[in-house]
Amino acid sequence: MTIFTINDVRKTFITGEVAEEILKGIDLSLQQGEITALVGASGSGKSTLLTIAAGLQPASDGQITFNGRNMTDMSQEQIRKVRASEFGFVFQSAHLVPFLTVEEQLILMLEVSQSKLKKGQQKKEIGHILKLIDMEHRKNAYPASLSGGERQRVAIARAIIHKPKILFADEPTASLDSKRSKDVMELIRNLTKTLNITTLMVTHDEEMLAYADHIITMKDGLVE
């Protein structure tokens, strides 16, 4: 089922009197429960497209539809609420809060997303997610004591603890070695399928494409 569509999306950056068109009319659709990977050389526009799709910056033109709603017509406050409650984000670095334990990182995300779960339900859901990522034994650990792979697993758990419909992942394995990269991608794929999440991922690592259901190649602001 199609849950997210991008129609003729364009993005132009203006510096002084110079206008540079980064995205030149992109069409894309995302299917529920599947991973779509965006690949392309540096400067091809893939990260720009991801941030526009995620509502982190506006498009210059075009339409983005999420779950039957036109995001192009939404106010900034409406987009913020969608990001907080229905989107999840994983980046190259984990960006964990250094003074919060693993469990507290997830509690914070539930609060930010305005989850309606009561405290007892929150504990149960956090336990379930930590079991899925094999981090139950580390729930009281602080980020400084975690390995790079463990920190990224916690970042993924934080991104999906509130049951988002879309997971946006921007180079989620770029800071990891080959083994940890594969572990993280296996986790993302398993969670995508288990929780029926839709994942849009930017990657430059061709080995990670084996985990994607669809591969979209970008070049010079266009889909090839």
Note down pLDDT in tens along the chain; length 224 residues: 899 999 999 999 988 888 889 999 999 999 999 999 999 988 899 999 999 999 999 999 999 999 999 998 899 999 999 999 999 999 888 899 999 999 999 999 998 888 877 777 888 889 988 988 889 999 999 999 999 889 999 999 999 999 899 999 999 888 888 888 888 899 899 989 988 999 999 998 888 899 999 999 999 999 98
**Residue 221 three-state SS:** coil
Domains identified in the chain, total number: 1
CA distance 219 to 46: 9
Are 204 and 39 contacting, i.e. CB atoms less than 8 angstroms apart?
Answer: yes
Domain of 137, CATH number, reads: 3.40.50.300
**Residue 183 three-state SS:** helix
Q: Determine the structural domain holding residue 148 and report its residue range.
A: 2-223
Kindly report the pTM of this predicted structure.
Answer: 0.91
